[in-house]
Amino acid sequence: MKEVILCKYGEVILKGANRSDFEVKMLKQLRQRARRIGNYKVYYSQSTVYIEPLDEEAIENIDEMTYQAKHVFGFVGVSRAFACEKNMETILQVVKTELAPTLKGYKTFKAEAKRSDKKFPMKSPDISAEVGGAVLSSVPGIKVDVRSPDVVVRVEIRENEAFIHAGQEKGAGGIPYGSSGRGLLLLSGGIDSPVAGFMMAKRGVQLEAIHFESYPYTSERAKEKVLDLAKILTNYTMRLRVHIVSLTKIQELLRDNCEEEYFTLMLRRYMMAISLKLAHDYDCEAIITGESLGQVASQTMKAINVTNSMTDIPIFRPLIGMDKEEIIKISRSIGTFDTSTLPFEDCCTVFTPRHPRTRPELDKVIEQQNRLPFDELVEEAYKTKEIIVVKQFGENKFE
């Protein structure tokens, strides 16, 4: 019995004249992943992408291929399906012998049919009724519930074959990675920034990442933690280039020359200036941060305005209206939470002011900024840049 993976489109199906461009990107990304796992045929038809194992090794690795498919942006549902001839006798036999064992433990089900091939002699309601009867006779104790079933059994009658499956898994959703340009993610070791990166990647933004360290005030393990977070994000992006920049000298000079209450604001302006320079050098059209309005002193409206004034490209803040509970929920779902909560410091915890300014005036911030050779320090910090390419498959690579 042949088993295949079916990947269902989400909003991509509504993209009109641009739809083919989105489909090309989704297929390319699936094929790149498939080549790492085994010998698979990847093709699409009628708003569904099919992943078909072509040898025994590919069949053995179908769980991993399913996992990979669920992490490709653009697909909202992924199913393992049995493919068979388009006749009811064969379909019902597959339901009884192949599908029924996978339904053990479910108490209720619903049968659905989709007849893309209108030449098939039975209509969808009739197919559903036949399949439902086969399930009831093959799975002890299971009952029909058309309103809120534990599992939905689906039969799809398509051009060349019939596909039978149950329990569609949720896909990554969104639109294809790389279809909306490139953005620079400020990646700290906290909970918020990996979630912000995921959310913009889901909207098709190809990510570069920048991380600021303050060695020896921050440890080597803190940097490794950030690279571990980048590795988790590569489940969705496949690779992520992380630029690591030292802020140690800048932070020491701020401590010695600026009023303490302005320290965090000044640090954010240096971060933005360095990030803007990197964004221009790597063709990034936006900067991405994990800021949420009012979460900390540097994320009030006035403080955010002080940060915004440093850039000439948009700053995307996908978490701006979320509370911490909502952010944590996404963090858990994408697998970054446990790593984000490891107790290793980042540069924002160094020399933290006791009473930071929450309603700063820009002219007073600039007055503080003028106490130091701002542009010179930005250039000097930028030269400390270390580049590490983090890959989903294989070891990290230094550039």
**pLDDT score, position 209:** 98
Helix spans in the chain (H) = 19-37, 56-60, 62-69, 88-94, 124-138, 192-202, 220-237, 248-257, 263-281, 301-308, 324-334, 337-340, 362-369, 374-382
What is the pairing mode between strands 108-115 and 151-157? Answer: parallel
pTM: 0.93
Percent of the chain with pLDDT over 90: 85
Instruction: Report percent pLDDT > 70 for the chain.
Output: 100
Q: Are strands 40-45 and 48-53 parallel, antiparallel or unpaired?
A: antiparallel
DSSP state for residue 200 in the 8-state scheme: H
Yes or no: say if 218 and 364 are a contact pair by the CB < 8 Å rule: no
* pLDDT for position 231: 98
Judged against a pLDDT cut of 80, whether residue 353 lies above it is answered with no
2-170 and 182-398: same fold? no
29: Cβ contacts below 8 Å, ≥ 6 apart: 72, 176, 177, 238
SS3 string of 30-88? HHHHHHHHCCEEEEEECCEEEEEECCHHHHHCHHHHHHHHCCCCCEEEEEEEEEECCCH
Question: What pLDDT sits at residue 295?
Answer: 87
Average pLDDT over residues 375-389: 98
* Average pLDDT score over residue span 237-244: 98
Q: Write down the mean pLDDT value for the chain.
A: 94
Query: Angle at Cα 208 formed by Cα 203 and Cα 211, nearest 5°?
Result: 120
Residue 350 has pLDDT above 80, yes or no: no
Tell me the pLDDT tens digit for each residue of 89-121.
999 999 999 999 999 999 999 999 999 999 999
Residue 349: pLDDT above 90?
A: no
Instruction: Estimate to the nearest angstrom the gap between the alpha carbon of 223 and the chain centroid.
Output: 21
**What are the domain boundaries of the chain?**
2-170, 182-398
Tokens of 4: 């295949």
CATH ID of 2-170, from 3.30.2130.30, 1.20.1250.20, 3.30.420.40, 1.10.150.120: 3.30.2130.30
What confidence score (pLDDT) does residue 162 get? 96
Q: Name the class of domain 182-398.
A: alpha beta
What integer pLDDT is reported at residue 346 of this predicted model? Answer: 74
DSSP designation for 364: H
Mean pLDDT of 218-243: 96
Q: How confident is the model at residue 304 (pLDDT cuts 50, 70, 90)?
A: very high
pLDDT of residue 273: 97
What is the model's pLDDT at position 46?
Answer: 79
- pLDDT (tens digit, 9 = 90+) per residue, 144-191? 999 999 999 999 999 889 999 998 999 999 999 999 999 999 999 999
Q: What is the mean pLDDT of residues 311-329?
A: 97
